Every structure is written in structure tokens, then in C-alpha cells.
């Protein structure tokens, strides 16, 4: 007979033995889904029995986690900012680091503001949907080169009731978007140097899409491509925000400066590491000559 508490304790030990970094948290998250309970049930009703099916499901989840499949892939979801997102192996599992962009955008655009924005490399929809969930007058376009990722973003938008606010398009960055213009561009592009990918944890290296990780030889390929095109599609006075790897602030700032961006600023994450670079497009200025 397996109870919530015996299942959790056993799972914790099993994951610990497999070298998993956070065995207690992972065991709890997997148990919540396998046994269809909340964290509170595990604490307040610890002797509740699992059905044989729940027991078997939990065992399967643990075996997958032992093989270093990420928890988010096993349970098919991940909390980000204040929303819950469906995820699978076709999208980057949204990271807490990426919440820095959301925080900056929400601070710069008050709730009543009407604005349009572009999310380049939209993936699961994390950034766009977290912003849209709190800015009812905003509209967004999310672009991704991966059709499978767009399917995930589409489902997430529908589940959050935000599908009327988020348009999704398959594309290679902004290719073919000559006419469009936006008040804001956000992007968390792939920024890991190709050679570094082999050194990452197996959860990332073996289970997350390479398209979401690989930033070319020095990790900066996407920024070089994106900086000029973002400035092109931004309206005068528009803003852009790029997530960066924590060692890339100087290089990305220089790329933006070369592309003609102004007011370039670097922002830190909660671990006090450089995480986001923001910039502004040059204002149009007075179009009439002095007399």
C-alpha cells in the first residue's frame, strides 16, 4: 500500500540516488500530478492511498526523471510569472531569469496603455502571454521558426483566453515583415555558444530543442541578426528588450550601438547577474526644417 507520504519519501531517495539536484521538489511536483493532489494534500492528508494506476504512473514519472528528462516535460507544464504554460520537447522550458523582461515591460507600460509588441522566438509564448495577461489593451505578434513551438504557443494562448491578443506567425526572425511596426520588441533568442551546449546539464543538452539554445560559435549570432531588424520594425521612440547570457552584456550592447540603438541599458536578474539589455530607437525628431 502506497500513501502520499511513503510515495514522496521513497521518490525523494530514488531521485537523490540518481544524482538529481532537487530531489524533494521534483518528487513532490511529480507526485502532485501522478496522484492528482495538491501540495496541501501531501501535507494535510499524508496517509491518503494512491490507486494502483496512480502508483504505476508515479513509477513511470520517476523512471523518466532518473533518465534526466526535465520535470516540465514529464508533467507537461511550467509556471512562469503569474501564468501556467503547457510545454513539451519542442519549446524551451520558460526560466525564471526570463521574468526580468516581463518585469521591465510591465513597469514601462502601465495597465491602461494601448501598445503593440513583437516577441521574436516566441517559443511557448512565455514572455508575450505573461505581458498580455496583465495588459488588456496590448496586442502582440509572436514569431518562431518552429511550427511545433508555435502549436504550443497557440494552445497556451487559447487556454489563457488570450488568443485574440496574440497573433502567431512562422518565420525566420522578421523576414518578410517589411510593412509592420511595433511600439516594443522583446526577444529571448538562442544565446549559448555552440561548443558549450555539450557541457550543459543533460536536462537541457538532451531534452531541450537545439534551435532554442544554439547561438552560433560565440553565442551572439542571433543578436547580430536581430539588432538591425528590430530597429527597423520599431516605431520612433520604440523600445527593445533582449534577454542575454550573463557574460554577454558588453558584446550585445556594442552590437546594438553599432546598429544605431540609443539609451542602451543593462538589467540584472535576481542573482545580480546581467540578464537583459534594453535600448530605444532614435526619435524621429522634428521633421520640419528651421526657417
Applying CB under 6 A, among 98, 156, 248, 253 the residue interacting with ligand SAM is: 98
Q: Is 248 in the site for ligand SAM (CB under 6 A)?
A: no
CA distance 17 to 11: 10
Applying CB under 6 A, among 54, 57, 188, 278 the residue interacting with ligand SAM is: 188
CA distance 149 to 261: 30
Please report, for residues 101, 181, 236, 258, the alpha-carbon distance to residue 184 in angstroms, rounded to integers and kept in the order given.
12, 9, 10, 19
For residue 97, the minimal CB distance to ligand SAM (Å) is: 9
Binding mask 106-135 for ligand SAM (x = CB under 6 A): ---------------xxxx-xx--------
For residue 38, the minimal CB distance to ligand SAM (Å) is: 26
| Grid cell 496590448 in the structure block, residue | 138
Q: Is 234 in the site for ligand SAM (CB under 6 A)?
A: no
CA distance 85 to 132: 14
By CB under 6 A, how many residues form the interface with ligand SAM? Answer: 22
Stretch that binds ligand SAM, among 45-53, 140-148, 161-169, 281-289 (CB under 6 A): 140-148
Name the DSSP letter for residue 282: P
Sign of CA dihedral 259, 265, 270, 272: positive
For residue 166, the minimal CB distance to ligand SAM (Å) is: 12
Stretch that binds ligand SAM, among 9-17, 26-34, 137-145, 155-163 (CB under 6 A): 137-145
Cell of 182: 511595433
- Count of alpha carbons within 13 Å of 185, Cβ hemisphere only? 31
Binding mask 145-164 for ligand SAM (x = CB under 6 A): xx--x---------------
For residue 40, the surrounding DSSP H or E stretch is: helix 39-44
Instruction: Provide the binding-site residues for ligand SAM, judged by CB under 6 A.
Output: 91-92, 94, 98, 121-124, 126-127, 143-146, 149, 172-173, 188-190, 211-212
Amino acid at each position: 500500500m502506497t500513501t502520499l507520504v511513503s510515495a514522496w519519501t521513497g521518490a525523494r531517495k530514488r531521485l537523490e540516488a540518481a544524482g538529481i539536484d532537487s530531489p524533494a521538489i521534483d518528487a513532490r511536483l511529480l507526485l502532485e500530478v501522478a496522484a492528482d493532489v495538491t501540495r496541501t494534500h501531501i501535507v494535510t492528508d499524508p496517509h491518503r492511498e494512491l490507486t494502483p494506476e496512480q502508483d504505476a504512473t508515479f513509477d513511470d514519472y520517476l523512471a523518466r526523471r532518473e533518465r534526466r528528462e526535465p520535470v516540465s516535460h514529464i508533467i507537461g507544464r511550467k509556471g512562469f510569472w503569474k501564468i501556467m504554460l503547457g510545454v513539451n520537447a519542442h519549446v524551451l522550458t520558460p526560466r525564471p531569469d526570463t521574468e526580468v523582461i516581463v518585469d521591465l515591460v510591465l513597469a514601462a507600460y502601465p495597465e491602461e496603455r494601448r501598445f503593440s509588441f513583437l516577441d521574436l522566438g516566441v517559443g511557448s509564448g512565455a514572455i508575450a502571454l505573461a505581458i498580455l495577461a496583465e495588459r488588456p489593451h496590448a496586442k502582440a505578434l509572436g514569431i518562431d521558426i518552429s511550427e511545433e513551438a508555435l502549436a504550443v504557443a497557440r494552445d497556451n494562448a487559447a487556454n489563457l483566453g488570450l488568443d485574440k491578443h496574440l497573433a502567431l506567425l512562422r518565420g525566420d526572425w522578421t523576414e518578410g515583415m517589411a510593412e509592420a511596426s511595433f511600439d516594443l520588441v522583446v526577444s529571448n533568442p538562442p544565446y549559448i555558444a555552440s561548443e558549450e551546449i555539450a557541457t550543459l546539464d543533460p536536462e537541457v543538452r538532451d531534452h531541450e530543442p537545439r534551435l532554442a539554445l544554439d547561438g552560433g560559435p560565440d553565442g551572439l549570432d542571433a543578436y547580430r541578426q536581430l539588432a538591425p531588424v528590430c530597429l527597423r520594425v520599431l516605431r520612433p521612440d520604440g523600445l527593445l528588450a533582449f534577454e542575454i547570457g550573463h557574460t554577454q552584456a558588453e558584446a550585445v550592447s556594442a552590437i546594438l550601438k553599432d546598429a544605431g540603438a540609443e539609451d542602451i541599458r543593462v538589467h540584472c536578474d535576481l542573482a545580480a547577474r546581467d540578464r537583459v539589455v534594453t535600448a530605444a530607437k532614435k526619435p524621429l525628431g522634428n521633421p520640419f526644417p528651421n526657417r
